Amino acid sequence: MPKAYVIGQNTIKNLDKYKLYAEKVPKTLVQFGGKFLSRGGDTLILDGEPAGKRNVIIEFPDIESAKAWYFSSDYQKIVTERKDNATGYLIISEGVS
C-alpha cells in the first residue's frame, strides 16, 4: 500500500494565533502514524503562482490513515484555528506504489 501525503500551502493572517494551532497539530498525528516532512522553511518557486507562502507536507502510512487523521475528532477540534488565521489549502495525495 503506498504512503500518502497531506500537502498544504498557507498564507498566515494572524501569526500569534496560528502558532497556537501549529503547536497542537503534532499530537493529533501520532495515532495515525503521521510525521512532518516539511513545515515552513525556505521555498524556491520554480514555475507558476503559489497558493500560499508557507508549505507543509505530512507523511502517513497510507491514504486511509491520512483521511482518518483529517476527520478525527482531535484534528477537527482545532482545524477552525487554521482556517480562521490562514488562507490556503490542504490536500491528500497518494504516493507511488
Per run of 10 residues, the mean pLDDT along the chain (length 97 residues) is: 96 96 98 97 88 93 99 98 96 95
pLDDT at 90 (0 to 100): 96
Kindly tell me the burial class for residue 92, based on how many C-beta atoms sit within 10 Å of its own C-beta (0-12, 13-18, 19 or more). Answer: middle
pLDDT at 13 (0 to 100): 96
Q: What is the CATH number of the domain that holds 33?
A: 3.30.70.100
The grid coordinates of residue 89 equal: 489549502
Q: Give which of 13, 92, 5 is closest to 52, Cα–Cα.
A: 13
pLDDT at 52 (0 to 100): 86
pLDDT at 53 (0 to 100): 87
Q: Compute the distance between CA of residue 62 and CA of residue 16 in angstroms, rounded to an integer.
A: 32
pLDDT at 93 (0 to 100): 98
Contact 55, 12 (CB under 8 A): no
The total number of structural domains that make up the chain: 1
pLDDT at 73 (0 to 100): 98
Residues of the domain holding 61: 4-94
